[in-house]
Structure 1
Amino acid sequence: CLVSLSITDFYFMIVRNSSKTHNGHDIQLLVTEAGRCYAAFANENREYVIVGGGNSAGYAARTFVEHGMADGRLCIVTKEPYAPYERPALTKAYLFPPDKKPARLPGFHTCVGSGGERQTPEWYKENGIEMLYEDPVKDIDIEKQTLTTISGKLLKYGSLIIATGCTASRFPEKIGGNLPGVHYIRNVADADALILSLQKAKKVVVVGGGYIGMEVAAAAAGWKLDTTIIFPEDHLLKRLFTPSLARRYEELYQKNGVKVLKGASIKNLEAGSNGHVAAVKLGDGSTVEADTVIIGIGAKPAVSPFERVGLNTDVGGIQVDGLFRTSTPGIFAVGDVAAFPLKIYNRITRVEHVDHARRSAQHCVKALLSAQTHMYDYLPHFYSRVFEYEGSPRKVWWQFFGDNVGETVEIGNFDPKIATFWIESGKLKGVLLESGSPEEFQLLPKLARSQPLIDKAKLQNASSVEEALEIARGSLQGEAAV
């Protein structure tokens, strides 16, 4: 529980961390490196503890508040010096050039990404939520229901929600993965370090053709830097895009000055005479000069120190059921770190995307606090927005819903719209739309969840994206009539 402090208290805390008494309670007084002060009742059991500081933590906190169960009951433990924020901004608007109105905190604290209230540090204080900043959990005693933080603080919990997300996959040190000028992005500090490099950079190499690679390469292009994106797959975003769709985006990147090297393996990163990264050496022996390198080759679920809670060896992460309960009573896991049943497709999966981070946190807390027993029924949803900086010749925003399985039908010329439909056994399984209207985007989840039977030949003959979507809408209405 946070308490109000007098100016005298504040000055006392700046001098040294100490303890005082407030309304008969022992209070541990804490000062962060940023000079912010927080007070927490020491040695008092926390009814609910959330470990993590990303999207899931923020949306879980909001759900506790909505149910009137946060004030004096909820504690959030994070390794960062910030209240939970919308992480997708870090590879999008946060990286805009200084003259292109870049995003900065407190502008993207949760829950602004979904149109909700911006939960600043003051919001947590006003709602009686105890925040422990820059003090990650290093150990858990499951039997005693106790967490130990890096600073040595002991936290007794009633219910624990693990919302630790992922850590960036890294290049080994022996091939230059830790050289000065080599960057990974998972938090604000990472993004700030990259911005300092971009301010001095001349040649940028982005390694990875997935979401992070594509978004960072687009951002670097906004700085008017010599930018190359390198990846081993034969086209961008291999896990989702079809080859023909990927080719459209590759051409767009090239028009924005980004060189695309696909099907390329990396042998090592080379240092210059000053020890700073200077080049990327490829598997074929060629080199690409670079004074700034960003590695975006995926992520690993941040399961430590919670391995004993129960891991999934197939998809990684902590195994949970449809209510986000782990095999250990009283412990839950949400967001990127959770391996959960994907009910609609009858398989266990992990989803590393903000939409699931938000929804899983909300579902978990509702199940924990109420009699809600219906299982999480998530519809996979992915999206990306690139080249959105001021003055960009073409802003890109696509959304995907469903499952990318079966045959594909692609409609449109990318000027600006294009749509891809995935059809399996005559049923529409997934759909991706670029540059759609709000009404068109709203149609996509209805199609993907209903999986209507659709006339593939009729869809292929559509003369425009709009006509194709109307055909799909008609198949949806046909299913309803049956």
Structure 2
Amino acid sequence: MSHIVVIGAGQAGASLVGKLRSEGFEGEITLLGAEDGPPYQRPALSKAYLLGEMERERLFLRPRDWYDGNDINLRTGTRAVAVDATNKTVTLEGDEVLVYDHLAFTTGSHPRTLPAAIGGDLDGVYTVRDLADADAMTPEFVKGRRLLIIGGGYIGLEAAAVAAKLGLHVVLVEMADRILQRVAAPETSDYFRDLHTVHGVDIREGVGLERLVGEDRVRGAVLSDGMELDVDFVIVGVGIYPATALAESAGVAYDNGILTNAQGRTSDPHIWAAGDCATLAWKGAQIRLESVGNAIDQAETVARNMLGANTDYAPKPWFWSDQYDCKLQIAGLNIGYDHVVTRRTGDAQSHWYYDGETLLAVDAMNDPRSYMIGKRLIEAGKSPAPDVIANPDTDMKALLKA
């Protein structure tokens, strides 16, 4: 009877072990997680959980007794410190050694932090990546306090929305020319800049952080334009990087993530990877998809392939973000777009990314219909003419039959 060890008890790890059992694997499964609790959903940490609208137990993907009932050895509070790919062993803190037949890395990613030289190690400076981060910063969200957010990506904007709703004074600085510059078109940036401005958030683009000020705890900030701010706490949302250190030390090939083939196998035939830590083949390149949808789908494909399915992973990218009363839903990848078409119907708005005449992606703001139709069109390889999309009288559902 074989033993599968999965390192990383997040969304990908939980999805992988669940699929192994549902596909009929009867061998031993060990899921290793460095955090104390069972696998949980992370997106809610910067949204409902931080707002106090979601209880801790509702974060959990499955109750702990589900793992026991499915004979999955979930070992929380357990950190793997070394992998010996030659002898197929995993060494844990405390020097316990596990022997595996197949191993999967679902180690996720780490938040980028500020250097200590500019005050990144001061008390009151936070990132939003795990449950401990969210719990640590929750007491800071008191009406009237001053929050500085560094980074205008989705994490920073979601945190700004929470803080503004709770009555804090929020300044958000983005070093690039516009918020969401790395991930979205100017039209989407404009939409969310206007949304946050209406709610009182002070967004400053093209402005970076020079340094944070304080003895032990942050009390101020000096920005790259010379402006000095008094602040009570700081949230840093300047991106993430894949957690590949353990895989690298095991000799597994990596390049901005653990390199995998179309089936999720690494350069070692007995080692696999899925989720934020892993790259995947897409249109002749290796990319990483940082999303819940990819973590689930890629991990489930890896599980099936561990059992001999020999199935290539075909990503169907989708993402979302909740800010105030706006739900943003994204389908597809906008990599390589050359123009954007805007569609407005009432209060709903969507931005459709095209490369020439080819539809690549859709950003839908409070427009679930456009999101679902756009997602199905992209997955079917269909590209309606841009002027058809822009026309508010177009019967969108009919496009699926064209």
State the TM-score, normalized to the length of structure 2: 0.94
Higher alpha-carbon deviation: 281-290 or 239-248 = 239-248
- Please point out which of 26, 41, 53 is paired with 1:86: 41
- 1:292 and 2:226 correspond: no
CA distance in 2, matches of 1:444, 1:271: 49
- Please point out which of 221, 224, 228 is paired with 2:164: 221
2:59 corresponding residue in structure 1: 108
CA distance in 2, matches of 1:263, 1:332: 40
Higher alpha-carbon deviation: 397-406 or 87-96 = 397-406
Give the letter for the 1:423 counterpart: Y
- 1:277 and 2:223 correspond: no
Secondary structure in 1 matching 2:54:
coil
Contact kept in structure 2, 1:201 and 1:292, CA below 8 Å: no
- 1:317 and 2:276 correspond: no
2:314 corresponding residue in structure 1: 377
- Give the drift of 1:284: 1.5
Contact kept in structure 2, 1:201 and 1:291, CA below 8 Å: no
CA distance in 2, matches of 1:312, 1:144: 20
- Please point out which of 400, 407, 411 is paired with 2:343: 411
2:326 corresponding residue in structure 1: 396
- Give the drift of 1:46: 6.8
1:477 corresponding residue in structure 2: 401
Q: RCO (CA 8 Å, sep 6+): is it higher in 1 or 2?
A: 2
- Give the drift of 1:49: 0.7
Q: Structure 1 residues 457, 131: CA separation in 2 closer, same or farther (over 3 Å shift)?
A: closer
- Give the drift of 1:427: 1.9
CA distance in 1, matches of 2:89, 2:352: 49
Give the letter for the 1:104 counterpart: E
- Give the drift of 1:475: 4.7
Secondary structure in 2 matching 1:421:
strand
Contact kept in structure 2, 1:167 and 1:301, CA below 8 Å: yes
- Give the drift of 1:329: 1.5
Query: Which consecutive unaligned segments of at least 5 residues does structure 2 have?
Result: none
Higher alpha-carbon deviation: 294-303 or 214-223 = 214-223
1:33 corresponding residue in structure 2: none
1:64 corresponding residue in structure 2: 20
- Give the drift of 1:277: 0.3
- Give the drift of 1:309: 3.8
Secondary structure in 2 matching 1:250:
helix
Equivalent residues in 2 for 1:207-356 (5 A)? 207-271=150-214, 275-307=216-248, 308-313=250-255, 316-342=256-282, 345-356=283-294
How many aligned residue pairs are there? 399
Alpha-carbon displacement from aligned partner over 1:85-126 (angstroms, at most 9, x marks no partner): 1111111111004xxxx212221212xxxxxxxx11111112
Q: Structure 1 residues 476, 81: CA separation in 2 closer, same or farther (over 3 Å shift)?
A: same
Instruction: Tell me how large the CA RMSD over aligned residues is.
Output: 1.9
Alpha-carbon displacement from aligned partner over 1:232-263 (angstroms, at most 9, x marks no partner): 12222112322233112111111112111111
Secondary structure in 1 matching 2:371:
helix
Equivalent residues in 2 for 1:190-205 (5 A)? 190-199=133-142, 202-205=145-148
Contact kept in structure 2, 1:309 and 1:318, CA below 8 Å: no
- Give the drift of 1:459: 3.5
CA distance in 1, matches of 2:265, 2:400: 35
Query: Which consecutive unaligned segments of at least 5 residues does structure 1 have?
Result: 1-44, 111-118, 388-394
CA distance in 2, matches of 1:266, 1:349: 29
Alpha-carbon displacement from aligned partner over 1:208-249 (angstroms, at most 9, x marks no partner): 111111111111112211111111122221123222331121
Alpha-carbon displacement from aligned partner over 1:40-98 (angstroms, at most 9, x marks no partner): xxxxx97011101210011112112212326x61111111001111111111111004x
2:90 corresponding residue in structure 1: 147
2:354 corresponding residue in structure 1: 423
Alpha-carbon displacement from aligned partner over 1:402-446 (angstroms, at most 9, x marks no partner): 232121111227x52101111222122222211124x54322221
CA distance in 1, matches of 2:75, 2:96: 10
Q: Structure 1 residues 225, 453: CA separation in 2 closer, same or farther (over 3 Å shift)?
A: closer
CA distance in 1, matches of 2:158, 2:196: 11
Give the letter for the 1:223 counterpart: L
Contact kept in structure 2, 1:49 and 1:76, CA below 8 Å: yes
Give the letter for the 2:51 counterpart: F
Equivalent residues in 2 for 1:125-144 (5 A)? 125-144=68-87
1:456 corresponding residue in structure 2: 386
CA distance in 2, matches of 1:249, 1:270: 29
- Give the drift of 1:170: 0.7
Secondary structure in 2 matching 1:56:
helix
1:157 corresponding residue in structure 2: 100
State the TM-score, normalized to the length of structure 1: 0.79
Equivalent residues in 2 for 1:177-188 (5 A)? 177-188=120-131
- Give the drift of 1:155: 0.9
Contact kept in structure 1, 2:188 and 2:363, CA below 8 Å: no
CA distance in 2, matches of 1:412, 1:287: 40
- Give the drift of 1:380: 2.1
Q: Structure 1 residues 294, 46: CA separation in 2 closer, same or farther (over 3 Å shift)?
A: farther
- Give the drift of 1:348: 1.3
Secondary structure in 2 matching 1:318:
coil
- Give the drift of 1:265: 1.2
CA distance in 2, matches of 1:476, 1:210: 32
CA distance in 2, matches of 1:151, 1:431: 49
CA distance in 2, matches of 1:85, 1:201: 31
CA distance in 2, matches of 1:475, 1:106: 42
Give the letter for the 2:252 counterpart: G
- Give the drift of 1:201: 7.2
Q: Structure 1 residues 423, 450: CA separation in 2 closer, same or farther (over 3 Å shift)?
A: same
Contact kept in structure 2, 1:310 and 1:318, CA below 8 Å: yes
1:441 corresponding residue in structure 2: 371
CA distance in 2, matches of 1:403, 1:276: 40
CA distance in 1, matches of 2:380, 2:19: 28
Equivalent residues in 2 for 1:19-58 (5 A)? 47-58=3-14
CA distance in 1, matches of 2:383, 2:104: 40
CA distance in 1, matches of 2:168, 2:333: 36
Contact kept in structure 1, 2:320 and 2:327, CA below 8 Å: yes
2:299 corresponding residue in structure 1: 361
Identity %: 26
Contact kept in structure 2, 1:139 and 1:305, CA below 8 Å: yes
